[in-house]
Amino acid sequence: MNTQDINRRIRLVMDLRTKGIRSADVLGAIERVPRDFFVPSSVSDQAWDDMALPIGRGQTISQPFVVASMTEALELTDRDKVLEIGTGCGYQTAILSKLCRRVYTIERHRYLLEHAEKRFEELRLRNVTAIAGDGMKGWPKINGLQQAPFDKIIVTAAAKDKPPAALLEQIRVGGKMIIPVGPPGEQSLKLFQKESDEAYSVRNIMPVRFVPLLPNIAEDSE
């Protein structure tokens, strides 16, 4: 890692701290995970700026402040099993992997998933399991094994008016889910906490802009 790269990482962490990110663990993960490794070479010079960037297939890598805010709100521990809906380029997944026991992540675009898995392998992230699937249905039973319920769930695409029922069902009692909710231009990042099998508390975190949460595995032409 060269001096310029180190300085960019430090500058981003200082910027996030100024903007209100308090968790030393989250800031440490942001500093350690090489964001430039997850973006196309055409925008790699902007990788350490606090901004969203295109990653192909109409998707983006989220602004680091949003990544940090979502991660911090979950209050992750090294015992947590986390479900991520929307792997994308794998950057948020990599941040999660530094802070919890295990990450299960679903991506509907096979192209993005294949590239993300290569990055996980190169970075030796051994606590990540990734599949192509319909994230709105939650984590499927695979070979007779069911991983749900999860301690925490993070959704990186916006539900139109409310979270999918399948995701609410896959949170353990006492667990949390963070998800953007609302139509384009009116999205709010919401933190759900499961108080019982039937009851949830909800807290608004901040306004955001995400791509919509869509069903099914995407066609290659999407």
- Could you list the active site residues? 62
Q: Which of 152, 105, 137, 116 is nearest to 214 (CA)?
A: 137
**Residue with token string 């009851």:** 199
Contact 202, 65 (CB under 8 A): no
Backbone φ, ψ for residue 34 (5° rounding): -75, 95
Instruction: Tell me the C-alpha distance between 205 and 70, whole Å.
Output: 9
**Residue with token string 């993070």:** 154
Instruction: State the angle between helix axes of 64-74 and 3-18 in degrees (0 to 180), rounded to the nearest 10.
Output: 60
49 Cβ contact partners less than 8 Å away, ≥ 6 residues apart: 12
Handedness of CA 112, 118, 124, 127 (dihedral sign): positive
DSSP letter for 38, please: G
Using DSSP's 3-state secondary structure scheme, residue 26 falls into helix
Contact 129, 73 (CB under 8 A): no
Instruction: Tell me the C-alpha distance between 71 and 23, whole Å.
Output: 9
